[in-house]
């Protein structure tokens, strides 16, 4: 029998998403106005709330196998997984960062899981999700069972440390470097955590949503197009 995760539940395997931030305009500029012509546009950004069993399809089998492996390792499921989200045909286990390496090892090695491949790590920046601004997402693939799943870790901007999984999934070496380069997530234990695309002396991390647009003036057929942060607002 599966252990109760003690997470908020909603029947039907899904919960209503929670609004994280509402932005105005196409790009929600903090200075210089909206230059897109969509200054009246209002968009709400949401992050999925925990899902509840039954998840449906093969997801319940996968959840059973993951929970059983964690209990066999002497760990408590509710202390390892923050929540489980099933949405858009995908299953995501939110893992507390101190347990990420143990979970990655289990998902790779346990005979009932066998996620032999990690397809990399993707950074996400939610500047208005206080205390959870930076997320690292690990898409896993099981060749043995033809399954896919995602592990996700959320950390605060003030403490952006996540343990490296390079020794478990060696192909993540360059992916972790790229995520550090663009988002500033520090992967503790990485053998050479240096920039991979930006110059070594580049200031900041350019895929974060609070990174300034910057830019340079461009001449086009005799006219000059101002850099994004210097254009007038159409609002």
- For the domain that residue 197 is a member of, what is the CATH number? 3.30.460.80
- The residue that leads in pLDDT, 5 or 215, is 215
The mean predicted confidence, pLDDT, of the chain is 85
Tell me phi and psi for residue 73, to 5 degrees. -85, 0
Q: Of 141, 101, 93, 139, which is closest to residue 117 (Cα–Cα)?
A: 141
Residue 131, both tokens: 């205390």
Q: What's residue 133's pLDDT?
A: 93
| 24: in domain | no
| 215: in domain | yes
In which domain, by residue range, is 113 found?
A: 11-17+50-230
| 137: in domain | yes
Domain count, the chain: 1
pLDDT band at 222 (very low <50, low <70, confident <90, very high): confident
| 32: in domain | no
| 27: in domain | no
What residues have CB less than 8 Å from 17, skipping those under 6 apart? 46, 47, 48, 49
- The residue that leads in pLDDT, 57 or 161, is 161
* Residues 202-212, mean pLDDT to the nearest whole number: 88
Q: What's residue 2's pLDDT?
A: 35
| 41: in domain | no
pLDDT tens sequence across 18-60? 656 777 777 666 655 666 677 788 887 777 789 989 999 899 9
Residue 86 CA, distance from chain mean position: 15
Q: 188-223: b or e for each residue (b if 16 or more CB lie within 10 Å)?
A: eebeebeebeeeeeeeebeebeeeeeeeeeeeeeee
Residue 20, both tokens: 């994280």
| 136: in domain | yes
| 57: in domain | yes
- pTM score: 0.81
């Amino acid at each position: 029998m599966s252990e109760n995760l003690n997470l908020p539940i909603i029947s039907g395997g899904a919960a209503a998403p929670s609004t994280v931030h509402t932005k105005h305009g196409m790009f929600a500029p903090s200075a210089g106005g909206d230059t897109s012509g969509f200054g009246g546009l209002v968009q709400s950004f949401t992050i999925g709330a925990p899902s509840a069993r039954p998840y449906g399809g093969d997801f319940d089998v996968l959840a059973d196998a993951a929970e059983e492996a964690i209990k066999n390792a002497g760990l408590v499921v509710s202390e390892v997984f923050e929540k489980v989200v099933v949405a858009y045909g995908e299953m995501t286990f939110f893992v507390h960062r101190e347990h990420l390496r143990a979970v990655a090892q289990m998902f790779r090695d346990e005979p009932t899981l066998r996620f032999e491949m990690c397809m990399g790590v993707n950074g996400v920046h939610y500047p208005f999700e206080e205390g959870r601004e930076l997320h690292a997402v690990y898409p896993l693939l099981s060749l043995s069972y033809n399954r896919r799943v995602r592990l996700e870790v959320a950390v605060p901007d003030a403490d952006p440390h996540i343990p490296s999984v390079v020794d478990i999934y060696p192909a993540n070496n360059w992916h972790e470097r790229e995520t550090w380069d663009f988002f500033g997530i520090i992967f503790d234990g990485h053998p050479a955590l240096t920039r991979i695309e930006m110059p070594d002396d580049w200031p900041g991390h350019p895929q974060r949503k609070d990174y300034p647009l910057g830019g340079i003036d461009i001449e086009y057929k005799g006219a000059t197009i101002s850099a994004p942060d210097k254009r007038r607002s159409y609002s």
